[in-house]
Protein backbone atom coordinates (compact mmCIF):
# COMPACT_ATOMS: atom_id res chain seq x y z
CA UNK A 1 0.00 0.00 0.00
CA UNK A 2 2.72 2.48 1.00
CA UNK A 3 4.60 1.46 -2.12
CA UNK A 4 1.62 2.17 -4.37
CA UNK A 5 1.08 5.55 -2.71
CA UNK A 6 4.73 6.44 -3.30
CA UNK A 7 4.69 5.37 -6.95
CA UNK A 8 1.29 6.79 -7.89
CA UNK A 9 1.20 9.98 -5.80
CA UNK A 10 4.48 11.12 -4.31
CA UNK A 11 6.95 10.11 -7.00
CA UNK A 12 5.19 11.93 -9.88
CA UNK A 13 5.27 15.12 -7.79
CA UNK A 14 8.90 14.70 -6.68
CA UNK A 15 10.01 13.93 -10.22
CA UNK A 16 8.74 17.35 -11.38
CA UNK A 17 11.54 19.02 -9.39
CA UNK A 18 15.28 19.23 -9.86
CA UNK A 19 16.75 15.95 -8.46
CA UNK A 20 19.54 17.77 -6.60
CA UNK A 21 16.97 19.92 -4.78
CA UNK A 22 14.76 16.94 -3.93
CA UNK A 23 17.79 15.12 -2.57
CA UNK A 24 18.72 18.11 -0.43
CA UNK A 25 15.14 18.42 0.88
CA UNK A 26 15.03 14.72 1.81
CA UNK A 27 18.35 14.91 3.63
CA UNK A 28 17.09 17.94 5.61
CA UNK A 29 13.84 16.15 6.45
CA UNK A 30 15.67 12.96 7.45
CA UNK A 31 18.01 14.96 9.64
CA UNK A 32 15.13 16.64 11.47
CA UNK A 33 13.16 13.41 11.89
CA UNK A 34 16.27 11.69 13.23
CA UNK A 35 16.68 14.29 15.96
CA UNK A 36 13.35 13.58 17.63
CA UNK A 37 12.09 10.36 19.19
CA UNK A 38 8.66 10.86 17.65
CA UNK A 39 10.20 11.30 14.19
CA UNK A 40 12.26 8.14 14.58
CA UNK A 41 9.24 6.22 15.88
CA UNK A 42 7.06 7.37 12.95
CA UNK A 43 9.62 6.47 10.31
CA UNK A 44 10.24 3.15 12.05
CA UNK A 45 6.52 2.43 12.10
CA UNK A 46 6.33 3.02 8.33
CA UNK A 47 9.60 1.64 7.06
CA UNK A 48 11.41 -0.56 9.57
CA UNK A 49 11.82 -4.29 9.17
CA UNK A 50 11.25 -5.49 12.71
CA UNK A 51 12.89 -8.92 12.69
CA UNK A 52 16.40 -9.89 13.76
CA UNK A 53 16.41 -12.95 11.53
CA UNK A 54 18.56 -11.43 8.81
CA UNK A 55 21.39 -10.39 11.12
CA UNK A 56 24.85 -11.12 9.68
CA UNK A 57 28.30 -10.91 11.23
CA UNK A 58 30.79 -9.80 8.60
CA UNK A 59 34.46 -9.19 9.42
CA UNK A 60 33.57 -9.08 13.09
CA UNK A 61 30.84 -6.47 12.64
CA UNK A 62 27.17 -7.35 13.17
CA UNK A 63 24.77 -5.98 10.54
CA UNK A 64 21.13 -6.08 11.67
CA UNK A 65 20.02 -6.39 8.03
CA UNK A 66 22.19 -7.01 4.98
CA UNK A 67 21.09 -3.78 3.28
CA UNK A 68 23.20 -0.64 3.42
CA UNK A 69 22.79 2.82 1.97
CA UNK A 70 25.51 3.20 -0.68
CA UNK A 71 28.00 6.08 -0.69
CA UNK A 72 26.80 9.31 -2.27
CA UNK A 73 23.40 9.86 -0.63
CA UNK A 74 24.45 10.89 2.89
CA UNK A 75 27.67 12.56 1.79
CA UNK A 76 27.95 14.80 4.86
CA UNK A 77 26.96 12.18 7.45
CA UNK A 78 23.65 13.76 8.46
CA UNK A 79 21.36 10.73 8.40
CA UNK A 80 22.94 8.26 10.83
CA UNK A 81 20.14 8.77 13.38
CA UNK A 82 17.27 8.02 11.00
CA UNK A 83 18.56 5.36 8.57
CA UNK A 84 18.41 2.51 11.14
CA UNK A 85 14.63 3.12 11.29
CA UNK A 86 14.36 2.56 7.53
CA UNK A 87 15.57 -1.06 7.66
CA UNK A 88 19.14 -0.17 6.79
CA UNK A 89 21.74 -2.21 8.68
CA UNK A 90 24.53 0.10 7.59
CA UNK A 91 25.45 3.11 5.51
CA UNK A 92 28.52 4.46 3.78
CA UNK A 93 28.89 8.14 4.62
CA UNK A 94 30.63 10.18 1.93
CA UNK A 95 32.63 9.82 -0.06
CA UNK A 96 34.49 12.14 2.29
CA UNK A 97 37.66 13.90 1.22
CA UNK A 98 40.55 15.59 3.05
CA UNK A 99 39.35 19.07 2.08
CA UNK A 100 35.79 20.24 1.39
CA UNK A 101 34.60 19.84 -2.22
CA UNK A 102 31.92 22.13 -3.66
CA UNK A 103 31.03 19.52 -6.30
CA UNK A 104 31.08 19.78 -10.07
CA UNK A 105 29.28 22.60 -11.90
CA UNK A 106 25.55 21.93 -12.27
CA UNK A 107 23.71 19.97 -13.63
CA UNK A 108 25.01 17.23 -11.33
CA UNK A 109 22.15 14.80 -11.37
CA UNK A 110 19.58 13.74 -13.94
CA UNK A 111 16.84 11.11 -13.79
CA UNK A 112 16.57 8.54 -16.55
CA UNK A 113 12.98 7.56 -15.89
CA UNK A 114 12.54 5.01 -18.68
CA UNK A 115 15.85 3.34 -17.83
CA UNK A 116 15.33 3.46 -14.02
CA UNK A 117 18.73 5.06 -13.60
CA UNK A 118 20.45 8.36 -12.81
CA UNK A 119 23.21 10.28 -14.47
CA UNK A 120 25.54 11.24 -11.60
CA UNK A 121 28.05 14.06 -11.95
CA UNK A 122 28.34 15.13 -8.31
CA UNK A 123 32.11 15.45 -8.17
CA UNK A 124 32.37 14.32 -4.54
CA UNK A 125 30.50 17.25 -3.04
CA UNK A 126 31.10 17.08 0.74
CA UNK A 127 32.16 19.26 3.67
CA UNK A 128 35.54 17.60 4.21
CA UNK A 129 36.60 14.92 6.65
CA UNK A 130 37.18 17.11 9.73
CA UNK A 131 33.75 18.66 9.73
CA UNK A 132 32.11 15.31 9.04
CA UNK A 133 34.04 13.67 11.89
CA UNK A 134 32.79 16.37 14.28
CA UNK A 135 29.20 15.72 13.17
CA UNK A 136 29.44 11.93 13.35
CA UNK A 137 30.91 12.10 16.85
CA UNK A 138 27.66 13.69 17.97
CA UNK A 139 25.41 11.25 16.08
CA UNK A 140 23.54 8.69 18.14
CA UNK A 141 22.49 5.93 15.73
CA UNK A 142 20.45 3.09 17.17
CA UNK A 143 22.58 0.25 18.54
CA UNK A 144 23.60 -2.26 15.90
CA UNK A 145 23.68 0.27 13.05
CA UNK A 146 26.98 0.01 11.19
CA UNK A 147 28.61 3.25 10.13
CA UNK A 148 30.90 2.87 7.15
CA UNK A 149 32.92 5.77 5.79
CA UNK A 150 33.83 6.02 2.14
CA UNK A 151 37.08 7.89 1.52
CA UNK A 152 38.00 9.52 -1.79
CA UNK A 153 40.60 11.94 -3.08
CA UNK A 154 39.72 15.64 -2.85
CA UNK A 155 38.33 16.81 -6.16
CA UNK A 156 40.65 19.79 -6.75
CA UNK A 157 43.89 20.69 -8.49
CA UNK A 158 45.91 20.40 -5.28
CA UNK A 159 45.42 16.63 -5.11
CA UNK A 160 46.35 15.84 -8.71
CA UNK A 161 49.47 13.67 -9.00
CA UNK A 162 50.28 10.32 -7.45
CA UNK A 163 51.98 11.38 -4.23
CA UNK A 164 49.55 14.21 -3.49
CA UNK A 165 46.61 11.95 -4.22
CA UNK A 166 47.88 9.26 -1.85
CA UNK A 167 48.54 11.78 0.93
CA UNK A 168 45.02 13.10 0.50
CA UNK A 169 43.49 9.67 1.19
CA UNK A 170 46.03 9.10 3.97
CA UNK A 171 44.98 12.26 5.80
CA UNK A 172 41.30 11.28 5.83
CA UNK A 173 41.90 7.72 7.01
CA UNK A 174 44.36 8.89 9.67
CA UNK A 175 41.92 11.43 11.05
CA UNK A 176 39.02 8.96 11.09
CA UNK A 177 41.03 6.29 12.88
CA UNK A 178 42.54 8.77 15.37
CA UNK A 179 39.05 9.95 16.26
CA UNK A 180 37.67 6.38 16.21
CA UNK A 181 34.88 7.36 13.86
CA UNK A 182 33.47 4.62 11.60
CA UNK A 183 32.93 0.86 11.90
CA UNK A 184 34.48 0.16 8.50
CA UNK A 185 36.25 2.12 5.79
CA UNK A 186 35.84 1.91 2.04
CA UNK A 187 38.50 3.31 -0.21
CA UNK A 188 36.79 4.76 -3.25
CA UNK A 189 39.29 4.15 -6.02
CA UNK A 190 36.77 4.36 -8.81
CA UNK A 191 35.07 7.75 -8.73
CA UNK A 192 34.58 8.65 -12.39
CA UNK A 193 33.97 12.39 -11.91
CA UNK A 194 37.12 13.93 -10.45
CA UNK A 195 40.07 16.12 -11.41
CA UNK A 196 42.84 14.06 -12.94
CA UNK A 197 40.44 11.15 -13.70
CA UNK A 198 40.11 7.76 -12.06
CA UNK A 199 43.75 7.31 -11.31
CA UNK A 200 43.92 4.47 -8.79
CA UNK A 201 42.49 1.70 -10.90
CA UNK A 202 45.85 0.75 -12.39
CA UNK A 203 47.41 -2.04 -10.28
CA UNK A 204 50.73 -0.20 -9.77
CA UNK A 205 49.16 2.98 -8.48
CA UNK A 206 46.61 1.06 -6.46
CA UNK A 207 49.36 -0.88 -4.74
CA UNK A 208 51.17 2.33 -3.79
CA UNK A 209 47.98 3.79 -2.36
CA UNK A 210 46.92 0.73 -0.38
CA UNK A 211 50.44 0.03 0.91
CA UNK A 212 50.60 3.57 2.28
CA UNK A 213 47.14 3.32 3.84
CA UNK A 214 48.02 0.03 5.52
CA UNK A 215 50.70 1.84 7.54
CA UNK A 216 47.86 3.38 9.57
CA UNK A 217 47.19 0.99 12.44
CA UNK A 218 43.55 0.25 13.25
CA UNK A 219 41.33 -2.79 13.66
CA UNK A 220 38.41 -1.85 11.41
CA UNK A 221 37.57 -3.71 8.18
CA UNK A 222 38.68 -2.00 4.98
CA UNK A 223 37.10 -2.43 1.58
CA UNK A 224 37.79 -1.07 -1.90
CA UNK A 225 35.02 0.37 -4.07
CA UNK A 226 35.58 -1.16 -7.48
CA UNK A 227 34.97 0.20 -10.97
CA UNK A 228 32.67 -1.94 -13.10
CA UNK A 229 33.88 -1.03 -16.57
CA UNK A 230 37.05 -3.14 -16.59
CA UNK A 231 37.22 -6.54 -18.24
CA UNK A 232 37.79 -9.48 -15.88
CA UNK A 233 41.53 -9.59 -16.50
CA UNK A 234 42.10 -5.97 -15.41
CA UNK A 235 39.61 -6.32 -12.56
CA UNK A 236 41.36 -9.45 -11.33
CA UNK A 237 44.71 -7.63 -11.35
CA UNK A 238 43.21 -5.09 -8.98
CA UNK A 239 41.90 -7.91 -6.79
CA UNK A 240 45.42 -9.36 -6.59
CA UNK A 241 46.68 -6.03 -5.25
CA UNK A 242 43.80 -5.84 -2.78
CA UNK A 243 44.60 -9.37 -1.63
CA UNK A 244 48.31 -8.61 -1.28
CA UNK A 245 47.74 -5.43 0.70
CA UNK A 246 45.40 -7.22 3.09
CA UNK A 247 42.07 -5.43 2.65
CA UNK A 248 39.03 -7.37 3.84
CA UNK A 249 36.95 -7.06 0.72
CA UNK A 250 35.38 -5.14 -2.10
CA UNK A 251 32.27 -3.18 -2.91
CA UNK A 252 31.21 -4.18 -6.44
CA UNK A 253 30.72 -1.63 -7.62
CA UNK A 254 30.63 1.97 -8.69
CA UNK A 255 28.77 3.74 -11.51
CA UNK A 256 28.72 2.56 -15.12
CA UNK A 257 30.65 4.89 -17.43
CA UNK A 258 29.50 3.37 -20.67
CA UNK A 259 26.76 5.56 -22.13
CA UNK A 260 26.39 3.13 -25.04
CA UNK A 261 24.61 0.75 -22.67
CA UNK A 262 21.77 3.23 -22.07
CA UNK A 263 18.70 1.81 -23.86
CA UNK A 264 17.24 5.32 -24.27
CA UNK A 265 20.26 7.48 -25.24
CA UNK A 266 18.12 10.64 -25.24
CA UNK A 267 17.94 10.27 -21.43
CA UNK A 268 21.72 10.68 -21.12
CA UNK A 269 22.68 13.52 -23.43
CA UNK A 270 26.33 14.41 -23.74
CA UNK A 271 26.24 17.60 -21.66
CA UNK A 272 25.60 15.34 -18.65
CA UNK A 273 29.07 13.92 -18.24
CA UNK A 274 28.70 11.45 -15.44
CA UNK A 275 28.39 7.86 -14.32
CA UNK A 276 25.17 5.93 -14.74
CA UNK A 277 23.48 4.26 -11.78
CA UNK A 278 20.52 1.95 -11.22
CA UNK A 279 19.48 -0.62 -13.77
CA UNK A 280 22.43 0.36 -15.97
CA UNK A 281 24.84 -1.08 -13.36
CA UNK A 282 22.97 -4.25 -12.51
CA UNK A 283 24.31 -6.85 -14.95
CA UNK A 284 27.90 -5.65 -14.89
CA UNK A 285 28.12 -5.57 -11.10
CA UNK A 286 26.38 -8.94 -10.66
CA UNK A 287 28.71 -10.61 -13.18
CA UNK A 288 31.79 -9.21 -11.45
CA UNK A 289 30.46 -10.41 -8.09
CA UNK A 290 29.94 -13.88 -9.54
CA UNK A 291 33.41 -14.02 -11.07
CA UNK A 292 35.08 -12.70 -7.92
CA UNK A 293 33.35 -15.29 -5.74
CA UNK A 294 34.03 -18.18 -8.08
CA UNK A 295 37.71 -17.26 -8.60
CA UNK A 296 38.58 -16.18 -5.07
CA UNK A 297 36.32 -18.31 -2.88
CA UNK A 298 35.93 -16.79 0.57
CA UNK A 299 39.00 -14.56 0.39
CA UNK A 300 36.99 -11.34 0.04
CA UNK A 301 33.92 -9.99 1.70
CA UNK A 302 31.77 -8.83 -1.21
CA UNK A 303 29.32 -5.97 -0.88
CA UNK A 304 27.00 -6.09 -3.87
CA UNK A 305 25.90 -2.71 -5.19
CA UNK A 306 24.40 -1.48 -8.44
CA UNK A 307 20.89 -1.74 -9.79
CA UNK A 308 19.06 -3.25 -6.83
CA UNK A 309 15.58 -2.05 -7.71
CA UNK A 310 13.54 -5.02 -6.47
CA UNK A 311 13.80 -7.88 -3.99
CA UNK A 312 14.60 -10.18 -6.93
CA UNK A 313 17.61 -8.01 -7.84
CA UNK A 314 18.81 -8.27 -4.23
CA UNK A 315 18.43 -12.06 -4.26
CA UNK A 316 20.28 -12.23 -7.59
CA UNK A 317 23.26 -10.38 -6.05
CA UNK A 318 23.29 -12.59 -2.94
CA UNK A 319 23.11 -15.72 -5.08
CA UNK A 320 25.99 -14.43 -7.19
CA UNK A 321 28.08 -14.33 -4.01
CA UNK A 322 27.50 -11.01 -2.24
CA UNK A 323 27.63 -11.04 1.59
CA UNK A 324 25.97 -7.65 1.98
CA UNK A 325 24.09 -5.26 -0.29
CA UNK A 326 24.01 -1.52 -0.89
CA UNK A 327 21.65 0.67 -2.89
CA UNK A 328 20.54 4.22 -3.68
CA UNK A 329 18.69 4.40 -7.00
CA UNK A 330 16.12 1.70 -6.12
CA UNK A 331 15.06 3.74 -3.09
CA UNK A 332 14.58 6.82 -5.28
CA UNK A 333 12.50 5.01 -7.91
CA UNK A 334 10.52 2.65 -5.67
CA UNK A 335 10.41 4.55 -2.39
CA UNK A 336 11.77 4.04 1.11
CA UNK A 337 9.72 0.90 1.75
CA UNK A 338 11.91 -0.99 -0.77
CA UNK A 339 14.40 -2.05 1.91
CA UNK A 340 11.65 -3.52 4.12
CA UNK A 341 10.17 -5.36 1.11
CA UNK A 342 13.54 -6.86 0.29
CA UNK A 343 14.02 -8.04 3.88
CA UNK A 344 10.56 -9.62 3.98
CA UNK A 345 11.31 -11.54 0.77
CA UNK A 346 14.73 -12.60 2.10
CA UNK A 347 13.12 -13.81 5.30
CA UNK A 348 10.50 -15.79 3.37
CA UNK A 349 13.13 -17.28 1.13
CA UNK A 350 15.28 -18.22 4.13
CA UNK A 351 12.40 -19.92 5.95
CA UNK A 352 11.39 -21.78 2.76
CA UNK A 353 14.96 -22.96 2.32
CA UNK A 354 15.00 -24.24 5.91
CA UNK A 355 11.61 -26.02 5.77
C1 LIG B 1 23.79 10.72 -6.32
C2 LIG B 1 24.87 9.69 -6.24
C3 LIG B 1 26.11 10.05 -5.70
C4 LIG B 1 27.13 9.09 -5.61
N5 LIG B 1 28.32 9.42 -5.01
C6 LIG B 1 29.20 8.44 -4.72
C7 LIG B 1 30.34 8.72 -3.92
O8 LIG B 1 30.55 9.84 -3.46
N9 LIG B 1 31.20 7.69 -3.66
C10 LIG B 1 30.99 6.41 -4.13
O11 LIG B 1 31.77 5.52 -3.83
N12 LIG B 1 29.92 6.13 -4.89
C13 LIG B 1 29.02 7.11 -5.18
N14 LIG B 1 27.91 6.82 -5.92
C15 LIG B 1 27.72 5.45 -6.47
C16 LIG B 1 26.85 4.61 -5.55
O17 LIG B 1 27.45 4.43 -4.31
C18 LIG B 1 26.56 3.24 -6.18
O19 LIG B 1 27.78 2.59 -6.38
C20 LIG B 1 25.83 3.36 -7.51
O21 LIG B 1 24.86 4.38 -7.49
C22 LIG B 1 25.13 2.05 -7.88
O23 LIG B 1 24.12 1.74 -6.95
P24 LIG B 1 22.54 2.03 -7.22
O25 LIG B 1 22.26 1.48 -8.58
O26 LIG B 1 21.83 1.31 -6.13
O27 LIG B 1 22.37 3.50 -7.15
C28 LIG B 1 26.90 7.77 -6.07
C29 LIG B 1 25.65 7.44 -6.63
C30 LIG B 1 24.64 8.37 -6.70
C31 LIG B 1 23.31 7.95 -7.27
Nearest alpha carbon to residue 14 among 1, 29, 32: 29
Instruction: Grade residue 354 by pLDDT with cuts at 50, 70 and 90.
Output: very low
Nearest CA to ligand 1 atom 29: 72
pLDDT in tens, 21-58: 999 999 999 999 999 999 999 999 999 998 778 999 99
Domain boundaries, the chain: 2-354
Burial (CB count within 10 angstroms: exposed 0-12, middle 13-18, buried 19+), residue 233:
exposed
Question: Quick check: 77 and 140 in contact, CB under 8 A?
Answer: no
- Ligand 1 contacts CB of residue 334 (under 6 A): no
The per-residue pLDDT for range 126-159, each reduced to its tens digit, is 999 999 999 999 988 888 899 999 999 998 777 7
* Range 218-239 average pLDDT: 96
What is the Cα–Cα distance from 1 to 352, expressed in whole angstroms? 25
Integer Rg of the chain from CA: 19
Burial letters 120-129, b for 16+ CB under 10 A, else e: bbbbbbbbbb
Cα(328) to centroid of ligand 1, in Å? 7
Residue 304, ligand 1, Cβ within 6 A: no
**pLDDT tens per residue across span 246-287:** 999 999 999 998 887 877 888 877 766 789 999 999 999 999
Residue 94 alpha carbon, nearest atom of ligand 1: 8
Span 164-183, mean pLDDT?
A: 95
For residue 352, the CA-to-ligand 1 centroid distance in Å is: 33
Q: In the predicted model, what is the mean pLDDT of residues 216-227?
A: 96
pLDDT (0 to 100) of residue 215: 96
pLDDT at residue 351 in the model:
58
pLDDT in tens, 61-108: 999 999 999 999 999 999 999 999 999 999 999 899 999 988 888 888
Beta carbon of 252 within 6 Å of any ligand 1 atom: no
Residue 315, pLDDT score? 96
**CA of residue 254 to ligand 1 center, whole Å:** 6
Q: What pTM was computed for the model?
A: 0.93
305 ligand 1 Cβ < 6 A: yes
Tell whether ligand 1 has an atom less than 6 A from the beta carbon of residue 330. Answer: yes
Q: How many residues does this entry show for the chain? A: 355
H/E run at residue 11:
helix 11-14
Q: In 200-337, which residue ranges form alpha helices assigned H by DSSP?
A: 203-213, 232-244, 279-296, 311-320, 329-334
Concatenated DSSP letters of 52-114: STT-EEETTEEESSSEEEPTTSSTTS--TTTGGGGT-SEEEEEEE-SS-B--SSSP-EEEETT
* Average pLDDT of the chain, as a whole number: 91
Check pocket membership of 329 for ligand 1, CB cut-off 6 A: yes
Question: Which residue has a Cα nearest atom 13 of ligand 1?
Answer: 72
Q: Would you say the CB of residue 124 lies under 6 angstroms from ligand 1?
A: yes
Ligand 1, atom 21, lies closest to the CA of: 277
User: Which CATH number describes the domain made up of 2-354?
Assistant: 3.20.20.70
What percentage of residues in the chain have a pLDDT greater than 90?
A: 72
Whose C-alpha lies nearest to ligand 1, atom 28? 72
Residue 118 CA: which ligand 1 atom is closest? Answer: 31
Q: What pLDDT band is residue 194 in, cutting at 50, 70 and 90?
A: low
CB neighbour list of residue 129: distance below 8 Å, 6 or more residues apart: 96, 97, 98, 151, 171, 172, 175, 176
What H or E segment, with its residue span, contains residue 25? helix 19-35
Nearest CA residue ID for atom 18, ligand 1: 254
Closest residue CA from atom 3 of ligand 1: 72
Query: Ligand 1 within 6 A of 239 CB?
Result: no
Residue 355 has pLDDT above 60, yes or no: no
Q: Is 119's C-beta closer than 6 angstroms to any atom of ligand 1? A: no
From ligand 1's centre to the CA of 277, what distance in Å?
7
HSE-CB for 139 with a 13 A CA cutoff = 27
Mean pLDDT calculated for residue range 160-181: 93
Amino acid sequence: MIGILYRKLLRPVLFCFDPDKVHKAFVSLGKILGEFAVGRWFIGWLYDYPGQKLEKKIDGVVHRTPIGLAAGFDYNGELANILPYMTFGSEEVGSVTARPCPGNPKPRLRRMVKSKALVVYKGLKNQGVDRIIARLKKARPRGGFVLGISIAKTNDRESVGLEKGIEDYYYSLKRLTEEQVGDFYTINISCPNVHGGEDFSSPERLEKLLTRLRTIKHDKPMYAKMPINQDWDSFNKMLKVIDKTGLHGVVIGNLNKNYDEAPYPEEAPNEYRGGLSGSLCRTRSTELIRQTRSNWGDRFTIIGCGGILTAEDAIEKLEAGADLLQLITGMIFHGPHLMKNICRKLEKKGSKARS
